Structure 1
Amino acid sequence: MKAAHDFGKWGAMVDVTIRGAGIFGLSIAWACVARGARVRVIDPGGVGAGASGGLVGALAPHTPERWNDKKALQFESLERAEMFWAEVRETGGHDPHYARTGRIQPVGALDLATERGRNAEELWQGRYDWRVVPVENFAPFAPLTTSGLVIHDTLTARVHPRKATQALAAALRARGVEVVPDGREEGAVIHATGVAGLEALNTDQEARVGTPVKGQAALLEFDARDAPQIFVDGLHVVPHGDGTTAIGSTTEIEFTDPARCDGGLDDILGRIIRLVPALRDITVLERWAGLRPRARSRAPMLGGWPDRPGQFIANGGFKIGFGMAPVVAEMMADLVLEGRDTIPETFRVAASLPKSRR
């Protein structure tokens, strides 16, 4: 391994310190350990204390059209996910409840849906389908649709966010990694601290690099564990492997209390009950609200912290953090351990800075 930094000097016991035990921080730790690095993860809130401790866990692709870096890397990451989570489960003995169960969504414009299906054959390299099929194929767990048709894609997968982060932490501990609430920073330092990290960058750069966005979700007592998830009216309905089903989420730029479940959640619960009849009269087991980090670029924000040598940033996962984690982890390990910068321009920290500061 070609080190990008002289990690061994001053007798340091750790090559890489990662601040943040959410999905980005834990996944990067996993990639670094796989390359032989000594890693410490620090998070005063514990594993999955922020946005990664939510309920939904949809690993869903963007539409197969207008291909760009973000969509290409997301496809690569979704492909890697099966092996990634299998290794985590085998190493730590905890099940992240990963499964590629697919997704259905009502057809809007039939011509557009069909064209996207043709695009998927090329862009998804013939490995996964995006097809228009009768909704009755998935009854009774299916959305209402005026056309009687849904798009079925076989690329979409799921994890249970809390079980997945706990599984990663268990796998890291099995490999000798400390996951602790406090500790000394040694070696390279990667800040994967979500909303708090964005706010620190905003202060450091005296500019809005990113913003917190409130999301609300709910967990239902409904067992559809083998069924495809549903995407309808901008909402995800994700059956989990433990016999629960998650719905979410809101996207709230303005809010009073980031941790309070309020009318926004009531609204999506009402919409889902109307749109997915199988969920009527189902018990709500849990309500969740929290802040998710959205970078100014709307893509993950990765790379060196400007003007802070040896300090790095992995942030901005927003709604696609779990889906992007396997490939984000490898790109950060490339950069920090080997000095190889494989990060696309649209994912760099500079992409979220005002032009005057790039």
Structure 2
Amino acid sequence: MPQSVIVLGGGIIGLSCAFEAARRGMRVTLIEPAALGGQASGAAAGMLAPYSENTEQPDSFFQLCLHSLRHFPEWIAAVEELSGLSAEWVRSGSINVFMHEADLLPIQSRLRWQNEWGADAQLIDAAQLRMLEPRLAQSAVAGIFTPHESHVYAPKLVTALEAACLKLGVTILLQAGEVDEVAVHPSGGVTVRAKALEQPVHADRVVVSAGAWSGAYERWFGLSIPVHPIRGQICSFEHPGGEVRHMVFSSQAYWVGKRNNRLVCGASEDVAGFQTHVTERGIGRLIRSSNKLFPFLEGKETAHRWAGLRPATRDGQPLLGKVEGMPAVIMAAGHYRNGILLSPVTAFIVADLLEGKPSELPLQSFDPNRFTPIPYRRRFV
């Protein structure tokens, strides 16, 4: 009989892990307390931009992101083929814009190491910048053009993954409410009980991918899971196709043009617990940045404003791997603002762990056991 797996959490990471595990022949049940893709996945611009978002050094996290980017073509193809739906993957390339000459001083070092890792990035002057993005402000002095970065439409990727999972036979339990207990049995197997489930769910293994709520599970595993929510506020403007052609990054915000004629601008971040309402202060900062970089947006009303909770860890690294002493439990959480980008590689790593295969990548930096254990909490029932 094939291995059975429970996936806790129905964001982009949970759906991706369920999809890959099912693709490898496992029997998968996904349990989501509310609705699919409702938090970090919903507050995402869908950027696949490891070079633009990791500018300091090629550390293990950058390498994880780059590995995932390189697997995106076949990953998207598999999801779209099975689901029959498009995730609107747009290979736009990206431009990092600089407003002052002084900003260019550290750029050569960044270009050097990123190009050694396949960025094919180039420094462009003001004239080249406006050839690529004619609507940019005249005050922009230069930019970095990175051709291999791209983006997907996150809500459609969530929908496509859901459909693909269902095609593969994944059982998806929505509106399950708060999980009351995760019972890990010393003889093997896991039982999950939740408020709105008619009966407990049993499986051989469990994958915790509960986003900003992952810390709630530490009481069952005797493990510190320091994942906390960061509210990401985001807005969009009406955007006729082609007005902004690339993903554009500045030191203050980013802009991504979508096929639904919306220009997404994000993200204002703050610590607000589990509150998901938007604030005038947060959205106001995005509007001011938009007016400065794209003068054609001056005075234009936002078409939509929203927020979601991004799961951040204490050291900024995700939790990927088995829980020490509890081989039935795998963590896949704390991806912060990179959940969309890291969905393929996380799914591959989790599926390899479920199959007992060694990972292609070094995972020491992402070891879920790296924080202080909680020895007084029960570990088995």
Asked if 1:132 corresponds to 2:112, the answer is: no
**Secondary structure of the residue that 1:274 maps to in structure 2?**
helix
Deviations 1:306-347 (A, max 9, x none): 454412211011111111111111011111122535551111
Cα deviation for residue 243 of structure 1 reads 1.8
Asked if 1:16 corresponds to 2:5, the answer is: yes
Instruction: Give the corresponding residue for 2:368.
Output: 349
Asked if 1:237 corresponds to 2:231, the answer is: no
Change (3 A) 1:121 1:208: closer
Equivalent position to 2:96, from 105, 108, 116: 105
Deviations 1:85-133 (A, max 9, x none): 1221121012111122111122353343233323333211xx6434334
1:55-74 → structure 2 map (5 Å cutoff):
55-61=44-50, 62-63=53-54, 66-74=57-65
Q: Provide the C-alpha distance between the structure 1 equivalents of 2:270 and 2:301, rounded to a whole number of angstroms.
A: 25
Instruction: Give the corresponding residue for 1:326.
Output: 344
Instruction: Give the corresponding residue for 2:161.
Output: 168
Asked if 1:269 corresponds to 2:318, the answer is: no
Deviations 1:209-235 (A, max 9, x none): 222111100122113467111111231
Amino acid at match of 1:259: T
RMSD, aligned α-carbons: 2.5
Instruction: Give the corresponding residue for 2:38.
Output: 49
Amino acid at match of 2:114: A
Please give the TM-score of this superposition, normalised by the length of structure 1: 0.86
Asked if 1:218 corresponds to 2:235, the answer is: yes
Instruction: Give the corresponding residue for 2:110.
Output: 116
Q: Do the aligned residues in 2 keep the contact of 1:17 with 1:39 (CA within 8 Å)?
A: yes
Change (3 A) 1:252 1:84: same
Instruction: Give the corresponding residue for 1:77.
Output: 68
Structure with the largest fraction of helix: 1
Amino acid at match of 1:229: M
Deviations 1:268-327 (A, max 9, x none): 222222222232243422211221110122111111234544122110111111111111
Cα deviation for residue 152 of structure 1 reads 0.8
Please give the TM-score of this superposition, normalised by the length of structure 2: 0.81
Q: Do the aligned residues in 2 keep the contact of 1:302 with 1:343 (CA within 8 Å)?
A: no
**Secondary structure of the residue that 1:249 maps to in structure 2?**
strand
**Secondary structure of the residue that 2:206 maps to in structure 1?**
strand
Deviations 1:109-160 (A, max 9, x none): 3343233323333211xx643433422112333355442x111111221111
> Identity of counterpart residues, as a percentage?
24
Instruction: Give the corresponding residue for 2:204.
Output: 187
Q: Do the aligned residues in 2 keep the contact of 1:216 with 1:289 (CA within 8 Å)?
A: yes
Q: Do the aligned residues in 2 keep the contact of 1:302 with 1:349 (CA within 8 Å)?
A: yes
Instruction: Give the corresponding residue for 1:92.
Output: 83
What stretches of structure 2 of length at least 5 have no aligned partner? 177-196, 376-381
Instruction: Give the corresponding residue for 2:27.
Output: 38
Residue correspondences, number: 341
What stretches of structure 1 of length at least 5 have no aligned partner? 1-7
Structure with the largest fraction of strand: 2
Change (3 A) 1:246 1:203: farther
Instruction: Give the corresponding residue for 1:28.
Output: 17
Change (3 A) 1:287 1:99: same
Cα deviation for residue 199 of structure 1 reads 3.8
